[in-house]
């Protein structure tokens, strides 16, 4: 049970605005996770959360030198480590 | 240039990410010699042009902008089919020019690594190089070319930099298929993702060796702009201001050319009538074709201006921000953030709006957006609202100081929006049911729009509309004309059938007008008016209004001219005309009662908010959905809702003691 908690870790939604994190895994529905990975969000890459939209969703991140917007639902499928 | 062993004409495809500068390069290489159509059965634009080589011309194909060739979307499938030579009617490309944005090298190179695997010679055209160098980054082109094992040419479409070099490189790579410059040695655990990882690993190595970044501050300018433009409060305020400005500009700029076109078509009709012998053919050409098609084409300036502004917003990168700002709001009704702009455009005209839904990737989301776009009160509804308000509510105030007309006008816009929200909500939970669409969207850096690209875009899209909607509009114009033209009422014997028909007014009005009015009353349209009268009676409409409803299927504003004809005041009345207004106020139904009360006017306005009274929209929906079923569904649900809402308005109003 303890190991469960440990392995759960953080997702991109836990990263505060202005901070960076390293991608550990991209989970979820294969179509979306595949699209995210093709856009360069793959394990090992560093991402920065730039801001959230006026109504709290979607969020903007910077990855590989460009800006990418995604909903929190998508961001939640990205495991990260600080 | 070496062309031995090749067909006399080379086929070259341009491939690249959205926002990589592909269209600008395409325009600069082909000039005005380009053709735009659609790939059969889908709404993916097929752009081809002719590129002048040292000897002869190459057939240049502009593939849709894409991030990947994995065929998860229609665009990607088409691009893949073109590259593999499986797309019918498009020869397999001899060379692919991969357009790569230097300021976004890693992600742009991903597509290139995929293209390598198809075994077609590749030349890389590096765009935005000036912006990249201005930010004090350094890129070693020779190194990049060596690592990628394919020529890399830095280009600038504006200054012409690199154009000759590009030509030379294309000649060099001919017949030299690329070697995939890296190994696909992912481990089995990663499964199908192994390829993605391998590609990006390779790219990271290449970029590390060939590029010296100036501590990656290249995004700072866009970030600063975004601090304001996507600010939680200012962002929304600015968005509203931008849209108001766009609409204001469209309405003020479009009115002059619209008037000119209107007069032009009138003059053309007069000319044809004076030059041709009187008869059915002349009437068909003048009243059917010129008046019908002209009535749609007068909206062209407005449509073009909308396309222009959409292009500018797209090109600057602001459109993506608008979708970002409003996605949460739109997703509440199950729509994508990108649906916002098409719906907004529809307040001016649903046609550019519906054509702009192409940016929405998911078919279900796109169709849901198309289905509700015509519920936004477009500019063609304004004459109808204006006429009704001028006839029955002019000068009346609410609470002593607010104009009742303005309140009613606002209520009509609100009604359209509310119904659209409900319809979208219902559609997305029933026939277009789908999980919330993924929202993964690039926010491209802000850039000044390229005037030429923007203007060319405007004309291309405008021409597409004319071409695609043209035949349907022509056909419907002729049908509607025939409905009002046949059977012919002989002028001399007019009061014989008139007596049988009842209600025909033979009075002191000018003879020619009276004839026109009688013709309409006795025509098929007039008879249809009688046929539908039982259906529209509960809405407070008589058969004469029925005739006007039928005729205004061509376009909503036709209601004004049809009412003018049917009330015998000559067809050239506008929505503020005193003659028409008093004719409407005094109109009597066949039973002798007054036709119009303020309640009838409001009911008619409600009907026009919701009814699908626009043949151009029908035509464009048919084209964009590629389905008559969806087109008829739209006509059906809109007309049904219009009837129900009008029924509630009229009967409810009567119960409350109005009318």
Contact A39 B230 (CB under 8 A): no
- Cβ(B18)–Cβ(B65) below 8 Å: yes
Contact A55 B328 (CB under 8 A): yes
Pick among B234, B441, B444, B447 to test the A interface (most A CBs inside 10 A):
B441
Beta strand spans in B470-564 (E): none
Compute the distance between CA of residue B78 and CA of residue B599 in angstroms, rounded to an integer.
54
Mean per-residue pLDDT of chain B: 85
Task: Tell me the C-alpha distance between B659 and B646, whole Å.
Answer: 14
Highest mean pLDDT (candidates B33-37, B199-203, B655-659): B199-203
Q: Are B450 and B24 in contact (CB under 8 A)?
A: yes
Q: Tell me the C-alpha distance between B419 and B641, whole Å.
A: 9
From B61-70, B398-407, B514-523, the region with the lowest mean pLDDT: B514-523
Is pTM beyond 0.90? Reply is no
Which residues in chain A touch residue B438, judged by CB atoms under 8 angstroms apart?
A: 29, 31-32, 35, 70-71, 74
Q: Is the pLDDT reported for residue B149 higher than 70?
A: yes
DSSP-assigned letter for residue B487: S
The more confident residue out of B509 and B272 is: B272
pLDDT-derived band at B490, boundaries 50, 70, 90: low
Chain B CB contacts of A39 below 8 Å: 67, 107, 440, 442
What residue ranges of chain A have pLDDT lower than 70? 1-8
Dist. CA B565–CA B557, nearest whole Å: 14
Spatial contact of B265 and B291, defined as CB atoms under 8 Å apart? yes
| Helices within B15-69 (DSSP H only) | 22-30
Query: Would you say how long chain A is, in residues?
Result: 82
Q: Which residues of A touch B213 (CB under 8 A)?
A: 65
Helix axes B300-316, B318-332, angle to 10 degrees: 100
Question: What integer is the mean pLDDT of B342-353?
Answer: 88
Residue that has been written with the tokens 């626009």 in this structure: B614
- pLDDT recorded at residue A16: 94
The contact set of A with B (CB < 8 A) is 29, 31-32, 34-40, 42-43, 45, 50-51, 53-58, 60, 62, 64-71, 73-74
Q: How far is C-alpha A81 from the geometric centre of its chain's CA atoms?
A: 10
Per-residue pLDDT band for B329 (boundaries 50, 70, 90) equals: confident
**Higher local confidence (pLDDT), B402 or B568:** B402
Q: Which chain A residues are within 8 Å of B365, Cβ to Cβ?
A: none
Would you give the distance in Å from CA B381 to the centre of its chain? 18
- Tell me the chain B residues in contact with residue A43 when contact means C-beta distances shorter than 8 Å: 197
Contacts of B325 in chain A (CB under 8 A): 53-54
Question: Which is higher by pLDDT, B645 or B489?
Answer: B645
Which pLDDT belongs to residue A80? 95
Instruction: Read off the pLDDT of residues B101-145 as tens digits, 9 standing for 90 and up.
Output: 998 999 999 999 999 988 899 999 999 888 888 777 888 999 999
3-state secondary structure of B371: helix
Question: Phi, psi (5° rounding) for residue B135?
Answer: -85, 10
Q: Fill in the DSSP letter of residue B160.
A: T
pLDDT value of residue B651: 96
Q: Which residues of A36-54 are buried (b: 16+ CB within 10 A; e: fewer)?
A: bbbbbbbbeeebebbbbbb
A71, B222: Cβ pair inside 8 Å? no
Q: Sign of dihedral through CA atoms B269, B270, B271, B273?
A: positive
Each residue's pLDDT tens digit, B572-587: 777 877 888 888 998 8
Contact residues on chain B for A65, CB-CB shorter than 8 A: 103-106, 213, 216, 218-219
Kindly determine whether residue B324 and residue A42, on different chains, have CB atoms separated by under 8 Å. no
Chains A, B: CB contacts within 8 A come to 118
Q: How far apart are CA B389 and CA B157, in angstroms?
A: 53
Number of other CB atoms surrounding residue B173 within 10 Å: 19
Cα torsion B635, B639, B641, B645 to 10°: value is: 160
What phi and psi values does residue B219 have, to the nearest 5 degrees? -90, 0
pLDDT at A5: 45
DSSP string for B312-341: HHHHHTHHHHHHHHHHHHHHHTT--GGGHH
Residue located via tokens 């665009």: B75
Q: Which of A65, A71, A73 sits opposite B104 (nearest CB)?
A: A65
Mutation site, B328, B330, B338, B364, interface A, largest A CB count within 10 A: B328
Cβ–Cβ gap A56/B70 under 8 Å: no
Tokens 């039973």 correspond to B591
Give B216's contacts in chain A (Cβ within 8 Å): 65
Do B61 and B47 contact (CB within 8 A), yes or no? yes
**Share of residues in chain B with pLDDT > 90 (%):** 34
| Residues facing A52 on adjacent strands | A59
Would strands B152-154 and B397-398 be described as parallel, antiparallel, or unpaired? Answer: unpaired
b/e per residue B579-589 (b: at least 16 CB within 10 A): ebbebbeebeb
DSSP three-state, residue B48: strand
pLDDT tens digits along B161-207: 888 899 999 988 887 777 777 776 655 556 678 889 999 999 999 99
Query: Nearest CA to CA, how far is B228 from chain A (Å)?
Result: 12
Q: Are B78 and B184 in contact (CB under 8 A)?
A: no
**Cβ-contact B377, B416 below 8 angstroms:** yes
User: Is B331–A54 a contact, with Cβ atoms under 8 angstroms apart?
Assistant: no
Closest by Cα among B64, B67, B85, B84 to B75: B64
DSSP string, B342-382: HHHHTTT-HHHHHHGGGG--SHHHHHHHHHHGGGS--GGGH
ipTM: 0.91
Averaged confidence pLDDT in chain A: 87
Share of chain B above pLDDT 70, in %: 92
CA nearest to A69 within chain B: B441
Of B110, B323, B439, the CB nearest to A74: B439
DSSP B380: G
From the list A42, A60, A67, which residue is nearest B197 (CB)? A42
B440 vs A36, A50, A57: nearest CB = A36
Chain segment A22-36, per-residue pLDDT in tens: 999 998 777 788 889
Q: What is the pLDDT of residues B281-299, one digit of tens each?
A: 998 998 888 888 887 788 8
Which helix (H) or strand (E) segment holds residue B45: the answer is strand B45-52
Interface test with B, best of A34, A71, A78 (most B CBs within 10 A): A71
- pLDDT value of position B4: 44
Average pLDDT over every residue of B555-567: 83
Phi, psi at residue B221, to the nearest 5°? -65, -50
Residue B505 Cα distances to B495, B521, B584, B616, angstroms? 9, 10, 15, 34
B38-86 residue pLDDT tens? 777 676 778 889 998 877 889 999 998 889 988 777 788 888 899 988 8
DSSP strands (E only) in B129-199: 138-139, 152-154
Query: What are the backbone angles phi and psi of residue B501, rounded to the nearest 5°?
Result: -75, -30
Extended strands (E) in B419-540:
440-443
């Amino acid at each position: 049970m303890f190991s469960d908690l440990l392995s759960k870790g953080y997702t991109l939604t836990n990263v505060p605005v202005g901070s960076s994190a390293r991608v550990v895994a991209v989970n979820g529905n294969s179509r979306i996770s595949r699209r995210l990975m093709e856009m360069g969000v793959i394990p090992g890459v560093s991402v920065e959360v730039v801001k959230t939209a006026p109504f709290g969703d979607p969020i903007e991140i910077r990855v590989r030198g460009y800006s990418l917007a995604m909903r929190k639902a998508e961001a939640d499928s990205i495991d990260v480590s600080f | 240039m070496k062309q031995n062993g090749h067909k006399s004409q080379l086929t070259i495809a341009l491939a690249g990410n959205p926002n990589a500068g592909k269209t600008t390069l395409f325009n600069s290489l082909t000039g005005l010699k380009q053709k735009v159509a659609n790939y059969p059965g889908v709404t993916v634009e097929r752009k081809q042009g002719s590129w002048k080589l040292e000897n002869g011309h190459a057939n240049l194909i502009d593939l849709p902008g894409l991030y990947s060739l994995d065929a998860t979307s229609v665009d990607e499938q088409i691009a893949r089919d073109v590259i593999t030579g499986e797309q019918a009617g498009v020869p397999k490309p001899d060379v692919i020019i991969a357009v790569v944005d230097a300021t976004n090298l890693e992600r742009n190179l991903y597509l290139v690594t995929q293209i390598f695997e198809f075994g077609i010679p590749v030349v890389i055209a590096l765009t935005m190089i000036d912006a990249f160098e201005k930010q004090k980054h350094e890129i070693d082109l020779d190194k990049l070319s060596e690592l990628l094992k394919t020529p890399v040419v830095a280009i600038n479409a504006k200054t012409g930099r690199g154009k000759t070099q590009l030509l030379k490189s294309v000649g060099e790579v001919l017949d030299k298929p690329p070697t995939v410059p890296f190994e696909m040695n992912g481990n089995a655990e990663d499964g199908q993702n192994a390829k993605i990882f391998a590609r990006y690993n390779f790219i990271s190595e290449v970029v590390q060796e060939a590029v010296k970044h100036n501590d990656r501050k290249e995004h700072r300018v866009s970030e600063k702009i975004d601090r304001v433009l996507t600010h939680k409060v200012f962002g929304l305020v600015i968005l509203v201001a931008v849209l108001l400005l766009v609409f204001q500009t469209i309405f003020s700029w479009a009115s002059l050319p619209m008037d000119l076109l209107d007069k032009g078509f009138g003059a053309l009709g007069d000319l044809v009538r004076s030059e041709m012998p009187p008869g059915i053919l002349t009437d068909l050409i003048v009243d059917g074709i010129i008046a019908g098609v002209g009535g749609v084409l007068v909206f062209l300036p407005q449509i073009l201006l909308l396309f222009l502004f959409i292009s500018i917003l797209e090109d600057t990168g602001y459109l993506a921000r608008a979708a970002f700002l409003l996605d949460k709001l739109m997703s509440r009704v199950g729509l994508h953030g990108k649906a916002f702009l098409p719906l907004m455009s529809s307040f001016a005209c649903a046609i550019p709006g519906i054509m702009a839904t192409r940016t929405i990737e998911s078919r279900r989301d796109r169709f849901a957006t198309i289905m509700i776009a015509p519920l936004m009160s477009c500019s063609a509804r304004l004459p109808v609202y204006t006429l009704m308000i001028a006839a029955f509510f002019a000068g009346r105030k609410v609470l002593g100081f607010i104009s009742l007309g303005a309140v009613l006008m606002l209520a009509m816009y609100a009604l359209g929006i509310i119904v659209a929200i409900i319809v979208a909500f219902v559609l997305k939970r029933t026939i277009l049911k789908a999980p919330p669409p993924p929202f993964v969207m690039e926010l491209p850096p802000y850039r000044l729009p390229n005037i030429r690209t923007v203007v060319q875009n405007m004309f291309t899209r405008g021409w597409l509309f004319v071409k695609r909607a043209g035949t349907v509009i022509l056909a419907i114009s002729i049908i509607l004309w025939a409905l009002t033209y046949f059977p012919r009422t002989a002028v001399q014997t007019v009061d014989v059938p008139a007596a049988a028909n009842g209600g025909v007014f033979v009075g002191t009005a000018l003879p020619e007008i009276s004839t026109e009015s009688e013709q309409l009353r006795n025509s098929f349209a007039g008879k249809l008016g009688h046929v539908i009268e039982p259906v529209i009676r509960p809405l407070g409409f008589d058969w004469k209004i029925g005739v006007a409803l039928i005729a205004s299927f061509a376009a909503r504003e036709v209601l004004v001219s049809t009412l003018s004809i049917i009330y015998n005041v000559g067809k050239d009345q506008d929505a503020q005309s005193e003659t028409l207004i008093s004719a409407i106020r005094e109109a009597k139904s066949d039973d002798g009662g007054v036709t119009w009360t303020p309640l009838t006017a409001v009911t008619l306005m409600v009907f026009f908010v919701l009814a699908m009274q626009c043949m151009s929209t029908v035509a464009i929906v048919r084209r964009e959905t590629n389905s008559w079923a969806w087109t008829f569904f739209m006509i059906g649900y809109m007309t049904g809702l219009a009837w129900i809402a009008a029924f509630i308005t009229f009967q409810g109003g009567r119960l409350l003691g109005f009318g």
